[in-house]
């Protein structure tokens, strides 16, 4: 779906996003297991939705000194996230973006970049631009942490994905503009070292990719 249509969809969808937890939660738990949030100082999230992951991590996984910058292109989602994260004071901030695949922080300012169930809404150019920007804002050794809908690895999950893709082709709005992706294919091995790339299948039906990759120094130019 075009970027504007995606943003309009999530402006309308709002808090209903939290009802997707039944298939997102197992993958988000696996992501948290590999993200090392307990040792980081600044997490930047692209496409934070209602702020559910940020709230959970700030409450349970980050130290009291760590800060979470949550961004989203939907005004509705930003409002919901800001309300949910208000109790964390200046440990959390929500930034409403214009939908550009970019992170509104300076070079090397983050030690985690997180994006869950967002790349699967974006076109290839936007994905590649976002990944290049994640490389820019992460410190060397910082972690890129992604989840998203992916291809099935069991007969039942392959069937689910086949049905999902058919709906997506006919009317992408009915599946929120998401389609299954192999996210790891976009990570250049000269710039990212894979920490984990696994498929977590919720209730045996909906497969999600969980990808955590370490930022390597810039290849060839000797700069960090």
Question: Is the dihedral angle over the CA atoms 163, 168, 171, 174 positive or is it negative?
Answer: positive
For 15, other C-beta atoms within 10 Å of its C-beta total 12
Q: Which part of the chain contacts ligand SAM (CB under 6 A), choosing from 34-42, 70-78, 159-167, 208-216?
A: 70-78
Pick from 74, 150, 157, 160: which binds ligand SAM (CB under 6 A)? 74
Q: Measured from the CB atom, is 56 or 109 closer to ligand SAM?
A: 56
Residue 196 exposed, middle or buried by CB count within 10 Å (0-12, 13-18, 19+): middle
Alpha-carbon distance of 132 to 188, in angstroms, equals 10
Residue nearest to ligand SAM (CB): 49
- Which strands sit side by side in the sheet containing 206-215, from one edge to the other? 92-96, 67-72, 42-46, 110-116, 138-149, 206-215, 192-202
Using rule CB under 6 A, residue 6 touches ligand SAM: yes
Q: Position of tokens 């990719």?
A: 209
The encoded tokens of residue 117 equal 């169930």
Pick from 69, 116, 150, 157: which binds ligand SAM (CB under 6 A)? 116
Q: Which part of the chain contacts ligand SAM (CB under 6 A), choosing from 48-56, 60-68, 83-91, 188-196?
A: 48-56
Instruction: Quote the least distance from Cβ 193 to ligand SAM, whole Å.
Output: 24
Cα-based torsion angle of the residue sequence 158, 160, 166, 171 in order, rounded to the nearest 10 degrees: -140
Instruction: Quote the least distance from Cβ 29 to ligand SAM, whole Å.
Output: 12
Pick from 30, 44, 66, 118: which binds ligand SAM (CB under 6 A)? 118
For the segment 170-209, give every residue that binds ligand SAM (CB under 6 A): 176
Footprint of ligand SAM (CB under 6 A): 3, 6-7, 10, 17, 24, 46-49, 52, 72-74, 77, 97, 99, 116-118, 121, 176
């Amino acid at each position: 779906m075009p970027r504007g249509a995606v943003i309009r969809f999530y402006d309308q969808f709002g808090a209903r996003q939290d009802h997707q937890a039944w298939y997102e939660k197992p993958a988000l738990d696996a992501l948290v297991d590999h993200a090392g949030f307990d040792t980081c100082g600044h997490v930047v999230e692209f496409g934070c939705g209602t702020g559910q992951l940020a709230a959970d991590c700030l409450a349970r996984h980050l130290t009291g000194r760590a800060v979470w910058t949550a961004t989203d292109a939907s005004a509705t989602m930003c409002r919901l996230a800001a309300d949910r994260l208000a109790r964390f004071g200046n440990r959390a901030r929500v930034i409403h973006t214009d939908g550009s695949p970019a992170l509104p922080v300076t070079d090397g300012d983050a030690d985690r970049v997180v994006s869950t169930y967002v790349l699967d809404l974006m076109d290839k150019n936007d994905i590649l631009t976002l990944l290049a920007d994640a490389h820019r804002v992460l410190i060397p050794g910082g972690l890129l942490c992604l989840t998203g809908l992916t291809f099935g690895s069991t007969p039942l999950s392959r069937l689910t994905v086949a049905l999902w893709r058919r709906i997506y082709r006919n009317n992408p709005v009915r599946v929120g503009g998401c389609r299954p992706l192999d996210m790891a294919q976009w990570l250049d091995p000269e710039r990212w070292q894979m920490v984990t790339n696994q498929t977590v299948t919720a209730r045996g039906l909906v497969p999600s990719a969980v990808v955590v990759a370490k930022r390597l120094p810039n290849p060839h130019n000797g700069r960090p």
